[in-house]
Structure 1
Amino acid sequence: MGAGAGAEAARQVRDTFAELYGGAPQGVWAAPGRVNLIGEHTDYNDGFVMPFALPHVTTAALARRDDGVLRLHSADVPGGPVELRVEDLAPQSDTNWTAYPAGVVWALREAGHPVTGADVHLTSTVPSGAGLSSSAALEVVVALALNDLFGLGIEGRQLARLCQRAENVYVGAPTGIMDQTASACCTDGHALFLDTRDLAQRQIPFDLAREGLRLLVVDTRVQHAHSDGEYGKRRAGCEKGAALLGVDALRDVAYAGLDAALARLGDEAEVRRLVRHIVTENERVERVVSLLESAGPRAIGPVLTEGHASLRDDFRISCPELDLAVDTALSSGALGARMTGGGFGGSAIVLAEESDVPSLTEAIEAAFATAGHTAPRVFEAVPSAGARRIA
């Protein structure tokens, strides 16, 4: 979001807040969605990931309250503000969109932070259900705003941990830490190399435009939900694999020792597949970092494509629309492509020469039309800034 667009968005959100609540907000904040360049499902296995923030953001206007009342409103959901009492917030008591911001308030209070209520108005340009972390953007923007309004002094990594707890415990979605950390901590023009075990971070320069490249997001418009059974099954299978191998997490299985580890799993065919994906995906993240620092972004294309094959064949979380997007992009000249996000729908990413973007986009749209799928949304992903106050 450019400075002009950010100022206009802030003005609109402030105006709507005033109409809803009868007074001006105390500030306006923004938190982005994210694209994960490489490192899928490794985050809840204490592994490596490499996301970057999108220009698409959730924007929030807030005013502090001291009477225990939490009022929540979204421009993207019909109806007026929803009113809750902060002392009544309880895990998995809410199945609506309000669970995400309410869960953040609950997590902050559970951690001992004196959050006594707020009026909140939200709007978002992050596509929902596209695997681009719309829920994390919502959590992080509310957490950052409350952190500022109540003077809590929480730094970005810990805010991400609290937002993850809100989603895991309050919402009931077993997500890892990557999405919230990306939204809270990414920087403009970089991808974030993140060790999810200790949250050690390195900002890796990722300026595709300078190299004449583009990274496209293909939103298949196939909806997914992290709190459904399939995501949880994959996580449980990974935990079973770690237990059978006698390690704390699959992060501890060395890439060089993968064959021996798989042999130890015997006839546990499904667990073997999950373990193979996680171990090889961690190696792919490290390889992408090395290639970006030595050979440049063109060299990472084949690694992205390897990652898709692993997610499709070993982790088994792709779908026909994602496979079609990836296969069409590759056959039309892309340097690399893979699904991104939790799977079972959502989005694919495509690394391409700038000059090939129009023909690639046309080919993907035509392939979806021929297959009878809903038309995809194709847009450029530009590494952007993480959560911040904008007014």
Structure 2
Amino acid sequence: MILPVQEMERRLIQAGASRLCLAVLERFRNEFPECGEVGLVRAPGRVNIIGEHTDYNGLPVMPMAIDREIVFAFAPVESVEVEVVALDKAYEKVHFVVSGDIPKFPTGHWGNYIKAAAQAIWNWAATRRPDKLPIRGVKGCVGGDIPPGSGLSSSSALVVASALVLGRELDIDRASLAELLAKGERYVGTEGGGMDQAVCLMARAGSALKIEFFPLRTNPVPLPPECAVVVANSTVTANKTGAARVAFNTRVAECRLGLELLKSVGREKNPRVAEATLLKDFMALEPNWQQVLNLLPDEPMTVEQISAFVGQSEDNLRRRCLTMRDGSLLPDPEGGFKPKKRCLHVLTEAQRVEQAAEAAERGDSELLGRLMNESHFSCAHNYEISCPELDRLVDLLREYGALGARLTGAGFGGCAVAIVKHEIAPQLLDAVWSEYYQRFLPTRNLEIPSQQNQVLFVTKPMSAAGEFFGG
């Protein structure tokens, strides 16, 4: 809903809106005094309870939206220009023209996430609602309390908020928008799946969300009522635009290579596995996938070795498995690819998601916790996306009473998530604050955070993204 600026402020105060919302509105008013009316959109961050790096393999995840979010205050304009400032003045103003082929800012620029949404929305309209072109631009202000690089999906929340703002006249259903933005966010260079966009757009207050892909389906999963969800930020930043992006994209490629190996081994007894295009397909087509997986070489492999194993040319294998969305070829990692270990994680993680959803629905917090612990072990040892800080943080969460704890998000830094009985949550927070943040971080030459609730907090499942006061 677009309202006069003063009326929006009055309604926000009356509704008990957060200081973040009011601060974003104030910055908008100061930056764009010529805009007499304003709309306001929120998009929550997320924490993934279980199911890491399964989504882009077509396999399920179980995240929930959290009470940290991106807020976007905006005023529509008649032109196709977008002009957006950040609440944090350390980020430079974003200014670009909306089209179906938007030039990128330099790698790492925060405005690329707004551009990703804008380009995806324009291209959707071009094929489905050309009468809505050109897409109108906006003047706006963005702020948030999701720590960037923390594994809580600040980037996807910004993409979703931007899409809701720019696509407000298109009436795209939530499932279609989630799938559109999952592909659209690859504009920034990561080869991710669709979990973040789906939970941001389709979350249910009070429940986690089991998400399945191709086709996209969601099912609310109530968490055990006696448990709280704790999020703990390692303070190690996983930058999706730096070395972590290469490591992330390498994992995606290793899954593709692993699928080629599995098909090569499995098709002799089960010709149907040749039809598989994702690990999800192979798992569905081959009931004895664990036996087939055991036949793959344990050691790291070069492209040349994988090519010889599967009977494909190196050029063909690189084109099919190592080509990124921008057309570039992923470099070979030092030490070789590890397709067997990556597939072992993904396929067993998918099983853990199914078991965790069943355990949560039964209220079996002990089993849910054990599955989270198993997930962290696999993330650390099979997918190799943990780091010493995350491992220490997870150990301390368990030591001080968590039923289960694991890294969450893409890894290489970011956050851990834990489930803990409500009655011991305060003591756990105090102990982890003391042991990890005040004692351990200095030993890693990392700064002690100034405020506990910015890095270590209890959260609850929140509702999906949307516009304030209707719309």
| Equivalent residue runs for 1:268-347 within 5 Å | 269=300, 270-347=338-415
Letter in 2 for 1:85: V
Residue 264 of structure 1: how far off its partner (Å):
3.4
Which residue in 2 is equivalent to 1:265? 296
Asked if the contact 1:217/1:378 (under 8 Å) is kept, the reply is: yes
Q: Does 1:379 align with 2:454?
A: no
Which residue in 1 is equivalent to 2:279? 250
Letter in 1 for 2:416: A
**What SS is found at the alignment partner of 1:6?**
coil
Which residue in 2 is equivalent to 1:352? 420
Asked if the contact 1:10/1:390 (under 8 Å) is kept, the reply is: no
* 2:93 corresponds to which of 81, 85, 102: 81
* Deviating more after overlay: 248-257 vs 336-345: 248-257
Please give the alpha-carbon distance, in whole angstroms, between the structure 2 residues aligned to 1:92 and 1:41: 26
* Deviating more after overlay: 190-199 vs 276-285: 190-199
| Equivalent residue runs for 1:40-119 within 5 Å | 40-78=52-90, 81-87=93-99, 90=102, 92-95=104-107, 96-111=109-124, 112=126, 114=133, 115-119=135-139
* Deviating more after overlay: 345-354 vs 39-48: 345-354
Residue 82 of structure 1: how far off its partner (Å):
2.7
Residue 91 of structure 1: how far off its partner (Å):
5.2
Which residue in 1 is equivalent to 2:183? 165
Please give the alpha-carbon distance, in whole angstroms, between the structure 1 residues aligned to 2:418 and 2:364: 16
**What SS is found at the alignment partner of 1:173?**
coil
* Deviating more after overlay: 80-89 vs 358-367: 80-89
Please give the alpha-carbon distance, in whole angstroms, between the structure 2 residues aligned to 1:35 and 1:73: 27
Q: Does 1:370 align with 2:442?
A: no
Q: Does 1:144 align with 2:164?
A: yes
Q: Does 1:16 align with 2:33?
A: no
Q: Percent identity?
A: 31
Asked if the contact 1:51/1:191 (under 8 Å) is kept, the reply is: yes
Structure 2 unaligned regions, length at least 5: 1-11, 264-275, 301-337, 450-454
* Deviating more after overlay: 68-77 vs 54-63: 68-77
Please give the alpha-carbon distance, in whole angstroms, between the structure 2 residues aligned to 1:251 and 1:226: 25
Asked if the contact 1:324/1:367 (under 8 Å) is kept, the reply is: no
Residue 89 of structure 1: how far off its partner (Å):
5.1
Q: 1:88 to 1:182 in 2, by over 3 A?
A: closer
Please give the alpha-carbon distance, in whole angstroms, between the structure 2 residues aligned to 1:24 and 1:128: 31
Instruction: Spell out, residue by residue over 1:176-227, the C-alpha distance to the aligned partner (whole angstroms, 9 max, x if none).
Output: 1100111111010011110022111111123x5x42x211111011000234
Asked if the contact 1:91/1:171 (under 8 Å) is kept, the reply is: no
Letter in 2 for 1:155: D
Residue 80 of structure 1: how far off its partner (Å):
6.0
Paired residues, number: 385
Which residue in 1 is equivalent to 2:230? 216
**What SS is found at the alignment partner of 1:109?**
helix
Q: 1:239 to 1:3 in 2, by over 3 A?
A: farther
Asked if the contact 2:149/2:240 (under 8 Å) is kept, the reply is: no
Residue 10 of structure 1: how far off its partner (Å):
4.0
Q: 1:108 to 1:128 in 2, by over 3 A?
A: same
Please give the alpha-carbon distance, in whole angstroms, between the structure 1 residues aligned to 2:428 and 2:45: 24
Residue 154 of structure 1: how far off its partner (Å):
0.3
Letter in 2 for 1:160: A
* Deviating more after overlay: 126-135 vs 58-67: 58-67
Asked if the contact 1:217/1:348 (under 8 Å) is kept, the reply is: yes
Q: 1:145 to 1:298 in 2, by over 3 A?
A: farther
**What SS is found at the alignment partner of 1:44?**
helix
Please give the alpha-carbon distance, in whole angstroms, between the structure 2 residues aligned to 1:263 and 1:92: 43
Instruction: Spell out, residue by residue over 1:235-257, the C-alpha distance to the aligned partner (whole angstroms, 9 max, x if none).
Output: 10001111222331112343962
Letter in 2 for 1:215: V
Asked if the contact 1:6/1:390 (under 8 Å) is kept, the reply is: no
Instruction: Spell out, residue by residue over 1:314-362, the C-alpha distance to the aligned partner (whole angstroms, 9 max, x if none).
Output: 0010001110011112222221111100001000011112222233223
Residue 134 of structure 1: how far off its partner (Å):
0.1
Residue 11 of structure 1: how far off its partner (Å):
4.1
Asked if the contact 2:117/2:162 (under 8 Å) is kept, the reply is: yes
* Deviating more after overlay: 243-252 vs 76-85: 76-85
Instruction: Spell out, residue by residue over 1:76-132, the C-alpha distance to the aligned partner (whole angstroms, 9 max, x if none).
Output: 242663321224953544431011012111111122162131112111011111100
Please give the alpha-carbon distance, in whole angstroms, between the structure 2 residues aligned to 1:351 and 1:205: 13
* Deviating more after overlay: 173-182 vs 84-93: 84-93
Asked if the contact 2:102/2:115 (under 8 Å) is kept, the reply is: no
Letter in 2 for 1:126: I
**What SS is found at the alignment partner of 1:48?**
coil
Please give the alpha-carbon distance, in whole angstroms, between the structure 2 residues aligned to 1:28 and 1:291: 38
Asked if the contact 1:215/1:349 (under 8 Å) is kept, the reply is: yes
